[in-house]
Amino acid sequence: MLEFSRLKVIWLWAITLVAAAAAIPSITATLGLALPAGIYAPKVNLGLDLAGGSHILLEADPSQVRQQRIEGMDESVRNKLKQANPDIRISDISNRDGALTFLVEDPSKVDAVREAILPLTNGAGLTGARDWTINVVDGNRFVLTPTTEGIDLAVSQAMETAVEVVRKRIDALGTREPTIIRSGSNRIVVQVPGLQDPQALKNLLGQTAKLEFKLVDTTALQSDIQRGVAPPGSEIVPYAAGKDGGPVGSIAVKRLGGIRGDQLTNAQVTNNQQTNEPQVAITFNTEGGARFAKLTTQNVNKPFAIILDGKVLSAPNINEPILGGSAVISGNFTTQAASNLAISLRSGALPVDLKVVEERTVGPDLGADSIRKGMIAMGVGTLALVAFILAVYGRFGVYACIALVFNVLMILGVMALIGTTLTLPGIAGFVLTIGAAVDANVLINERIREERHRGRRVFQAVEMGYKEASRAIFDANITNVIAALSMAAFGTGPVRGFAIVLLIGIATSVFTAVTMTRMWVAQWLRKARPTEIAL
């Protein structure tokens, strides 16, 4: 146990010094010192709770995706059957209650309908399931229900798009180093370090930015609109709340015949020449421009509504065909709202609405205060502990304390090397590890003392001390590993940061407190050959 070959001594020191040296950049950075440029300098990342910043968890509602799928199928079925020759008439179409149902007026055409709509469904996933089930009830009523597999696939695709859109929007804000990752089936985690006020970010992410142009149904009576009754083929859409007054209430627009404003190449905030109000100038791509030109050409002198996320921004008259592929959206905007809209339109619409279901924001002042107090507590705690250990264990305490210092450096160094994040509970974990690390030395030293009392010689007593104590040290650390792993598995951000510090600390403390001190003690015993030790 106390034999250390020259080679072993060299590599034990190599491990210790490399890991401890890796802590230097983090320490100098905290002290505000600069290192020479160009050398490899890994640093411990600070978590959002220390560095300040925002953690935002966004959630999409899968039932919205389901409804979108059903409405999309509604449109596809209508188009498909309209093209059929001879034409097939369907009626009593409903896309409510989680399914699309319709009646084929001529029961003899049921098979033709089935044949026509079958190509509209696709395979979903690897199990061979389809994304829709098609049933016929009462002879001629079709019921199309999206399958779970189909919905899951659609949600997954929508979330992939949503992550991209979110990324573009955050990049447009110019914030540094955001982390954007999918979490679970329908969530996105957004972490932005250094962001003190996430309000602007949340406004931006909360905007779906689905832009539509629909014709106003001028035949609708104002009294009907107020009662919420729309003429057949139309729907009632409320006005968006502008920054001051503006039109209130709702208008009726035609369901079909409008276009979507998703085929854009650019969107910019400009100022209206006459009113000096902010507005958003949009440029369509070729296809979108052609569709917009067609819509405006066919409906000159009729009003159309510009609808954003289900709210009417404005309903101007089409004075003349707009052929240039660009348009201007005015909507009683504040500058901030116009800027958000421009960013949102440029980055594309979100395929689903995203809601903020969790937010954790820490201001930089609170974080800095936590670091400062954490460092003070760690320093004072360590000094007090060193004094205590020296008083109780003398020379063996000196070894324990040197091991402790190396342990602290090694934890920091390993954290920097593997790129983990130090969180506020992580600082507590650090302090705790310092207190617990000496337990190994306590166990060993107590055992040596006992073995001496039983009359063993110094050399044998030390050897037995390390050997007998190792078993309890090992078992005790395994239980800590189990607890820390459990934390790492179930915890979120800060708690996981704490667990990682504990895990690293367990590994380094066993190394420094057991292996390294044993080497130092062995070297001293060999050199000084004491016949009596103070313990």
Partner 1 sequence: MKLLKLVPDNTNIKFLRWRVPFYVISLLLMAASLGLVFTKGLNLGVDFIGGQMIRVTFTQSAEAPVGPLRGEIEALGYGEPIIQRYGKPNEISIRMKLPAGADHDSGLSDKMARTITADIKARHADARVDGVDSVSGKVSGELWHSAVLSLGLAALAVAAYIWLRFEWQFGVGALFSLVHDVTLTLGMFAVTQLEFDLTIVAALLTLIGYSLNDTIVVYDRIRENLKKYRKMPMPELLDLSVNETLHRTLATSLSMLITLSALLLLGPGVIFGFTAAITLGIFVGTYSSIYMAAPILIWLKVTSKSFVPTESALDKQERMAREGV
- Residue 254 CB, shortest distance to partner 1, in Å, is 30
Nearer to partner 1, 136 or 366 (CB): 366
Residues 77, 487, 513, 514: which binds partner 1 (CB under 8 A)? 487
Q: What are the Cα distances from residue 180, in Å, to 183, 190, 489, 494?
A: 10, 5, 20, 17
Q: What are the Cα distances from residue 473, in Å, to 2, 284, 408, 513?
A: 18, 70, 19, 10
Phi, psi of 329 (to 5 degrees): -105, 120
Asked whether 349 and 165 are in contact (CB, 8 A), the reply is: yes
Residues 105, 111, 287, 369: which binds partner 1 (CB under 8 A)? 369
Nearer to partner 1, 100 or 444 (CB): 444
Stretch that binds partner 1, among 104-112, 341-349, 373-381, 514-522 (CB under 8 A): 373-381
- Residue 333 CB, shortest distance to partner 1, in Å, is 19
How many Å apart are CA 93 and CA 104, to the nearest integer? 10
* CA triple 53-57-60, angle to 5 deg: 150
Nearer to partner 1, 175 or 268 (CB): 175
- Residue 505 CB, shortest distance to partner 1, in Å, is 11
Residues 471, 523, 528, 530: which binds partner 1 (CB under 8 A)? 471
- Residue 22 CB, shortest distance to partner 1, in Å, is 24
3-class state of residue 457 by DSSP = coil
How many chain residues are in contact with partner 1, going by CB under 8 A?
Answer: 78
E strand map for 382-458: 421-422
Phi, psi of 19 (to 5 degrees): -65, -40
Token pair of 390 as six digits: 């020296």
Q: List % helix, strand, coil for the chain (3-state, nearest 5).
A: 55, 20, 25
Residue numbers 273-312 binding partner 1 by CB under 8 A: none
Closest among 184, 158, 152, 179 to 167, alpha carbons compared:
179
Nearer to partner 1, 261 or 429 (CB): 429
How many Å apart are CA 125 and CA 54, to the nearest integer? 35
**Nearest-10 crossing angle of helices 458-490, 424-453:** 160
Q: How many residues does the chain have?
A: 535
Residues 14, 380, 418, 528: which binds partner 1 (CB under 8 A)? 380
- Residue 299 CB, shortest distance to partner 1, in Å, is 36
- Residue 48 CB, shortest distance to partner 1, in Å, is 10
Stretch that binds partner 1, among 7-15, 134-142, 273-281, 388-396 (CB under 8 A): 388-396
Residues 419, 482, 528, 530: which binds partner 1 (CB under 8 A)? 482
177 contacts partner 1 (rule: CB under 8 A):
no
Nearer to partner 1, 254 or 518 (CB): 518
Bridge partners of 191, per DSSP, are: 55, 179
256 contacts partner 1 (rule: CB under 8 A):
no
- Residue 55 CB, shortest distance to partner 1, in Å, is 9
Token pair of 168 as six digits: 């573009």
Nearer to partner 1, 206 or 316 (CB): 206
How many Å apart are CA 8 and CA 512, to the nearest integer? 14
Site string for partner 1, 428-467 (x = CB under 8 A): xx-xx-xxx-xx--xx--x--xx--x--------------
Residues 215, 427, 448, 458: which binds partner 1 (CB under 8 A)? 427
Residues 335, 486, 523, 526: which binds partner 1 (CB under 8 A)? 486
**DSSP-assigned letters across all residues of 411-431:** HHHHHHHHT-EE-HHHHHHHH
Q: What are the Cα distances from residue 438, in Å, to 136, 270, 444, 474?
A: 75, 66, 10, 14
490 contacts partner 1 (rule: CB under 8 A):
yes
Residue numbers 343-362 binding partner 1 by CB under 8 A: 355-362
Q: Within its chain, how far is the Cα of 294 from the centroid?
A: 42
402 contacts partner 1 (rule: CB under 8 A):
no
- Residue 489 CB, shortest distance to partner 1, in Å, is 7
47 contacts partner 1 (rule: CB under 8 A):
no
Site string for partner 1, 184-213 (x = CB under 8 A): -------------xxx--x-----------
H or E element in which residue 382 lies:
helix 364-418
Stretch that binds partner 1, among 64-72, 79-87, 339-347, 470-478 (CB under 8 A): 470-478
Residue with tokens 């001879």: 86
* CA triple 32-34-40, angle to 5 deg: 125
- Residue 187 CB, shortest distance to partner 1, in Å, is 9
**DSSP-assigned letters across all residues of 53-114:** EEEEEEEE-HHHHHHHHHHHHHHHHHHHHHH-SS---EEEEE--TTSEEEEESSGGGHHHHH
Question: What is the b/e burial string over 271-302, where b = at least 16 CB atoms within 10 angstroms of the residue's CB?
Answer: eeeeeeebbbebebeeebbebbbebbeebeee
Site string for partner 1, 229-248 (x = CB under 8 A): --------------------
Residues 162, 322, 385, 422: which binds partner 1 (CB under 8 A)? 385
- Residue 424 CB, shortest distance to partner 1, in Å, is 6
Residue numbers 55-94 binding partner 1 by CB under 8 A: 57, 59, 61
Nearer to partner 1, 268 or 460 (CB): 460
Nearer to partner 1, 224 or 450 (CB): 450
- Residue 389 CB, shortest distance to partner 1, in Å, is 7
